[in-house]
Amino acid sequence: MALHSGKLTKNLVRTLGPGRHGDGNGLYLVVDPSGARRWIVRVTVKGQRNREGKPLRTDFGLGGADIVTLNQARDRALEYRRMAKQGLNPRYNVRQEVPCFEEIAQQVHIERLPTWKNPKHGQQWINTLAEYAFPKIGRLPVSEVGQPEVLQVLLPIWTEKHETAKRVAQRIKAVLDVAKSKGFYTGENPVNTIRDAKVLPRVKQKVQHHKAMRWQDVPAFYADLATRDATAAKALMFTCLTASRTSEVLQARWEEFDFDAMLWTIPHERMKAGEEHRVPLTPQMIAILEPLKALQSEAVFEGQKRHKPLSNMAMLMLLRRMKIEGITVHGFRSTFRDWAAERPDVSREVAEMSLAHKVGSDVERAYARSDLLEKRRQLMERWCEYVAS
């Protein structure tokens, strides 16, 4: 192994923040905002020029820093520089090593981060692989991950943690698809083979609905909430009135509200269906919002940290403190829907659109473009009057 006198150390490789950090001689550690770390080397190929007639300078990836050590990165960088000085482009002259499954998975995670609505979803994506797949197949060259290896991951959790197992299978499939697109994998994706051959045992699942409060009990519950000063109580009151999802309420910002038009417009990136949703405001909702607006926080329902919203568990913990057993926050959407179903003059379309559900086929929605705002406003006013009665 060659001796090197670079600027980086093992400790710095682990602790440096986002950016490109030079080790000297064209070797860089790149730290992404997500915390992912990878090596690149920049070389100038002797005798080769780009389209502008300048010397051909190219960056080459050397692997993730969690897989490739500092000394290994230096050795690989030295090999690339020697080739470049001889006029050989490393892209065509270095034998490409097959990365391990974990290395490809980390790269897929980094590439997909901008596509997730919520950073939490992206973290869950890699966490499930880290917990269930990496211990068994993480260090295997990705080209060696076949049907037996995938089954080794899935079988122990297929029946007891079926939903988790299905997610793990989907994510393994995605990693192997990307590996195939990069030339590191050949043949049929083993996840597809396992599904088609029905190798895994059939699991009969029961549909689990969110437990909901009876709509007849909501006015008394709401009256109890109204006596409480906690922000979580105000958030739960607003959730009951709007029949919105927990994340939609807790992540609300004041710029989303138009008090003149009596509208709360939730942007598409915060909606489950990925489409903007307008919620008609009622006097009861305004009565909750006005005192909160006076606090001048960026978050409508501010938590313990300034300008930061309540945690996702805040309303559920409030229910537990109130000794409300077997009821979930999300269940209040079902409560509203049950109440609306009992109103003979309320159409299914209006009730479903109030919950931001898609109604009808794609063709039907292409022609029926109205979100029935005024009809939904009338329904929400009736609902709020009932709840606050």
Structure confidence by residue, pLDDT tens digits, 332-353 = 999 999 999 999 999 999 999 9
Residues 79, 149: one domain?
no
pLDDT per position as a tens digit, 242-277: 999 999 999 999 999 999 999 999 998 888 888 899
What is the model's pLDDT at position 4? 41
Same domain, 238 and 345: yes
Q: Are residues 140 and 288 in the same domain?
A: no
Domain boundary (197, 228, 258) is at 197
Total domains present in the chain: 3
Identify the CATH number of the domain in which residue 15 sits.
3.30.160.390
Cα–Cα distance, 264 to 284 (Å, whole number): 14
Whether the full predicted model's pTM is greater than 0.85, yes or no, is no
Query: Which of 1-15, 98-112, 312-326 has the highest average model confidence (pLDDT)?
Result: 312-326
Q: Are residues 232 and 379 in the same domain?
A: yes
Are 79 and 121 within one domain? no
For residues 372 and 242, state if they share a domain.
Answer: yes
pLDDT at residue 243, rounded to an integer? 95
Q: Which of 80, 66, 83, 20 is nearest to 8 (CA)?
A: 20
Count the Cβ atoms, other than its own, within 10 Å of residue 25: 15
CATH code for the domain of 163: 1.10.150.130
Q: Which of 108-122, 238-252, 312-326 has the lowest mean pLDDT?
A: 108-122
Q: Which pLDDT value is given to residue 5?
A: 45
In a domain, 185, yes or no: yes
143 lies in a domain?
Answer: yes
Do residue 228 and residue 82 come from a single domain? no
Per-residue model confidence (pLDDT) at position 262: 96
User: Do 232 and 325 belong to one domain?
Assistant: yes
Q: What is the DSSP letter of 100?
A: B
In the chain, helix, strand, coil percent, each to 5?
A: 50, 15, 35
Provide the domain limits for residue 278. Answer: 215-387
Q: How far is it, in rounded angstroms, from Cα 366 to Cα 358?
A: 12
Has residue 2 been placed in a domain? no
323/237 same-domain check: yes
The pLDDT, as a whole number, for residue 325 is 82
275 and 139 inside one domain:
no
**Is residue 203 domain-resident?**
no
Residue-averaged pLDDT of the chain: 86
- Say whether both 167 and 108 belong to one domain: yes
Q: What is the pLDDT of residue 378?
A: 96
Q: What is the CATH number of the domain that holds 292?
A: 1.10.443.10
Q: Are residues 248 and 379 in the same domain?
A: yes
Residue 361: predicted pLDDT: 64
Over range 26-34, report the average pLDDT.
85
Looking at the domain assignment, is residue 226 inside a domain? yes
Q: Residue 1's pLDDT is what? A: 34
